[in-house]
Amino acid sequence: MSVPSRLCVAPPLEELLVALKVRGSSVGQSSTGVVCTKAAGTGGPKAVHCPESPEGWDSVCFLVVPSNCDAVKLKIQPKFLCALLAEVFIIKEAAVDFVLRHFRVWPEPHTAVEAKLNKVFEEQEYTEGGIPSLVVRQELAEARLFAGHEFFVCGQTKEAHLMRTLVAIGNGVLAPKGDNADYVVICDEALPEAHALRRRLASRNEDVVAATHGQKHASLVTPKFLYDCITRWALVRPSRRSGHIPFKNKQLTRKATVGPPQEPS
């Protein structure tokens, strides 16, 4: 069975879903480096819609973005964030234009034609605005960015669903409760659950953390914290100035005293 090289497209490139007419090669190279007839590329390039599940991103090879896109707007696009976490090769539309002009058959591995195509992909990789390259992402996070960290996402909004998807793609753990997570993501500050979490976690100041060394102490953060961690490719320290900390009113934090967490009212 042939296996296509799957390309996910970012808006407004939906026309690529029907434009790719390149046949597959007779052989391809597997993830372990073995040349075989069932590797990616033997089905040719195939443009696909955004995967519906975190697991679906594992089969995507490329994300294609407009060559002259707005770097600020692109950084908050769900497809772009998912592709970064899934270690997908992010290339500009010009690379696909090159394929459409010069190829009728996807090149076989270890050939001069493949080397030429790879060079074009490297030249057209999207790294604007400080976005790390695929090589850098793979070197800095072998187990993906969120591995070893627990997140609790408060809310059921569309953005809350995106937060859970990003955590899953980044190999993070979705905690069933916020109290013992590393990060509690507040997507809607108006929710009673969000205020209850704020009351319970506000008393966990530096003195409490020092006195209970070894225990987890959740940090309340906004979705922007996750966005910035992904685009900077590092788990940064939450910053109020950067919009990482929810609830503008800091009264509860100032009144916090050493003691056990308060029970929700």
CATH of the domain at 48: 3.40.50
Going by C-alpha positions, the residue among 53, 45, 56, 49 that lies closest to residue 22 is 45
Provide the residue range defining the domain that includes 160: 150-232
My answer on whether 121 and 164 are in the same domain is: no
My answer on whether 22 and 51 are in the same domain is: yes
48 three-state secondary structure: strand
Give me the mean pLDDT over the 61-71 stretch: 88
Single-letter code of the amino acid located at 19? A
Tally of structural domains, the chain: 2
My answer on whether 23 and 69 are in the same domain is: yes
The dihedral through the CA atoms of 70, 75, 76, 79 has a sign that is: positive
**Given pLDDT bands bounded at 50, 70 and 90, which one contains residue 262?**
very low
Question: Last residue of a domain, which of 140, 160, 190?
Answer: 140
| The predicted structure's pLDDT at residue 263 | 41
**Given pLDDT bands bounded at 50, 70 and 90, which one contains residue 216?**
low
pLDDT, tens digit (0-9, with 9 covering 90-100), for 177-198:
998 899 999 999 999 999 999 9
**Given pLDDT bands bounded at 50, 70 and 90, which one contains residue 13?**
low
CATH of the domain at 154: 3.40.50.10190
DSSP-H helix ranges across the chain: 16-19, 71-74, 78-85, 93-102, 112-123, 134-140, 158-169, 192-202, 206-211, 223-232, 251-255
My answer on whether 172 and 134 are in the same domain is: no
Residues above pLDDT 70, as percent of the chain: 71
Question: Last residue of a domain, which of 140, 158, 177?
Answer: 140
State the number of CA atoms in the 13 A half-sphere of 181 facing the CB: 24
My answer on whether 184 and 84 are in the same domain is: no
Residue 197 lies in a domain: yes
Give me the mean pLDDT over the 124-151 stretch: 89
Residue 253 lies in a domain: no
Instruction: Supply the mean pLDDT for the chain.
Output: 79
Separation CA 127–CA 69 (nearest Å): 12
My answer on whether 181 and 225 are in the same domain is: yes
| The predicted structure's pLDDT at residue 97 | 87
Single-letter code of the amino acid located at 160? A
Residue 205 has pLDDT above 70, yes or no: no
Residue 49 lies in a domain: yes
My answer on whether 64 and 174 are in the same domain is: no
158 three-state secondary structure: helix
| The predicted structure's pLDDT at residue 260 | 40
Question: Last residue of a domain, which of 140, 168, 200?
Answer: 140
Residue 243 has pLDDT above 50, yes or no: yes
State the number of CA atoms in the 13 A half-sphere of 121 facing the CB: 18
pLDDT, tens digit (0-9, with 9 covering 90-100), for 17-38:
444 555 545 545 555 555 555 5
**What radius of gyration, in Å, describes the C-alpha atoms of the chain?**
22
